[in-house]
Amino acid sequence: MLTLNSVEVEDTFAEAFPMTAARVVVTAETIHWARVAGTTATGYAASVIGCDTEAAIERELSPDETPDGRPGVALLYFGFSRDALAKAVTNRVAQCVLTCATTACFNGLAGEPGKTIRVGGTLRYFGDGWQISKLLEGKRYWRMPTMDGEFLCEETFGTVKGVGGGNFLILGETQSQTLAAAEAAVEAIRTVPGVILPFPGGVVRSGSKVGSKYKGLKASTNEAYSPTLRGAVNSALPEGVNAVYELVFDGLDLASVERATLAGLTAASRCAGVKKLTAGNYGGKLGPHHIHLKKLIAGV
């Protein structure tokens, strides 16, 4: 039996898939306003099943890490196509960063050559003819007048081919114990650069499967992992398991998602009440990236 810190780990794999990613750097006069902008601009972005993007704050930035020497936050956005990502990022910067007191917005990725999205270059029209263009060290910026001064935004943002759908499930004895393990795993994953957990607090209670008995519904509840349905369905839950939480995360590359998987599994395995760790996949039909738990743990 495969184990990690004496916790059973199912010999399976997490199935991840390609996504297009962008990093947005938001700065402000204080870290408070940078956080406000970052939190707002990444809201309602848990899953592209029902949202325009998957997004979250990657980390906070000190003044010596930002282009304008002010405190800031780095945001990561993921989408299934560059066009969809461009629309989501531009709309969110327009509605949630431009409108937020004292902010400025910069590209955070060198990206792949020729594969950029226009952000400031689109938002400049809000300046209604008063906008000003500046070219500094080969980068174009737009300055738009606002009621508290001006909003500065880089014209284009780089994109890369990232990886979405990294995941694992924590099966525990009680809801409180399982949630504590999930919280520990979230904290561990958040130390991995280039990775975000887009769901609320990084934790998913509503694990899903592809399809539904209802026509037109893309996804529905994964009854095999629902404790209240144990006696009515073909349950995947061992005896003694009464709660399950899933962690889903996206990364700028496969190696980052693999590091996040191992970090999260290790943290969860050290928590009381955890009975089993496993991962979600669709038999290899959903995505080309198969993250085998056994292979990850073998290197520990």
Q: What is the CA radius of gyration of the chain?
A: 21
Amino acid symbol at 242: N
Residue where a domain stops, chosen among 131, 160, 189: 160
Residue 81 shares a structural domain with residue 196: no
Using DSSP's 3-state secondary structure scheme, residue 203 falls into coil
Which structure tokens are listed for 186?
A: 């979230």
Q: What is the pLDDT of residue 86?
A: 98
pLDDT score recorded for residue 299: 73
From the number of C-beta atoms within 10 Å of its C-beta (0-12, 13-18, 19+), residue 35 rates as middle
Q: What pLDDT does residue 69 have?
A: 98
- Give the Å distances, CA to CA, from 280 to 61, 147, 272: 33, 49, 23
Number of domains making up the chain: 2
The answer to whether the CB of 144 falls within 8 A of the CB of 265 is no
Can you give the CATH number for the domain in which 233 is found? 3.30.70.520
- Residues 170 and 176: their CA atoms lie apart, in Å, by 12
- For residues 164 and 16, the answer to whether their CB atoms sit within 8 Å is yes
Same domain, 28 and 116: yes
Q: Which of 34, 156, 149 is nearest to 97 (CA)?
A: 34
Query: For 259-268, how does the pLDDT look when each residue is reduced to its tens digit (9 = 90+)?
Result: 999 999 999 9
Say yes or no: 176 and 223 in one domain. Answer: yes
Dist. CA 191–CA 181, nearest whole Å: 16
**Cα–Cα distance for residue pair 240/139, rounded to 1 Å:** 58
| pLDDT reported for residue 118 | 97
- 229 and 184 part of one domain: yes
Among 117, 141, 160, which residue terminates a domain? 160
Residues 51, 126 share a domain: yes
Does one domain contain both 143 and 122? yes
Tell me the CB-side half-sphere exposure of residue 217, using CA atoms within 13 A. Answer: 10
Quote the pLDDT of residue 90: 98
Domain assignment of residue 113, given as a range: 19-160
Q: Are residues 140 and 251 in the same domain?
A: no
Residue whose C-alpha is closest to residue 268's, from 57, 2, 8: 8
Domain-ending residue, one of 160, 176, 210:
160
In terms of C-beta density within 10 A (0-12 exposed, 13-18 middle, 19 or more buried), how is residue 219 classed?
middle
For residues 89 and 152, state if they share a domain.
Answer: yes
Same domain, 173 and 250: yes
Same domain, 201 and 256: yes
Per-residue pLDDT at 285 = 77
Residues in the chain, pLDDT under 50: none
Helix/strand/coil for 61 = strand
Together in a domain, 245 and 177: yes
- Based on the fold, state whether residues 9 and 39 are members of the same structural domain: no
